[in-house]
Amino acid sequence: PIPTVTNPLDGVRMHLTVYAGPIPEPSSLLTLAGAALTTAGITWRKRRR
């Protein structure tokens, strides 16, 4: 059954959990999130120019 998610972040976490299988450690999750944000920021800045 598909769980109903009210918080978008919970949806993202569930999405990651589905693909990652076992839940990764918070530290590695933070690293991944930081890398993703950095990449998105760089891409967004390039596109704006």
What average pLDDT does this structure show over 29-49?
Answer: 84
Of 28, 4, 44, 6, residue with least CA distance to 16: 28
Predicted local distance difference test score (pLDDT) of residue 44: 85
Whole-model pTM: value is 0.39
Predicted local distance difference test score (pLDDT) of residue 30: 78
User: CA 11 to CA 24: how far, in whole Å?
Assistant: 16
Choose between 35 and 8: higher pLDDT. 35
User: CA 34 to CA 27: how far, in whole Å?
Assistant: 10
pLDDT tens digits, residue range 6-30?
666 665 665 555 555 555 566 777 7
Predicted local distance difference test score (pLDDT) of residue 42: 86
* Tokens representing residue 20 in the block: 């990652």
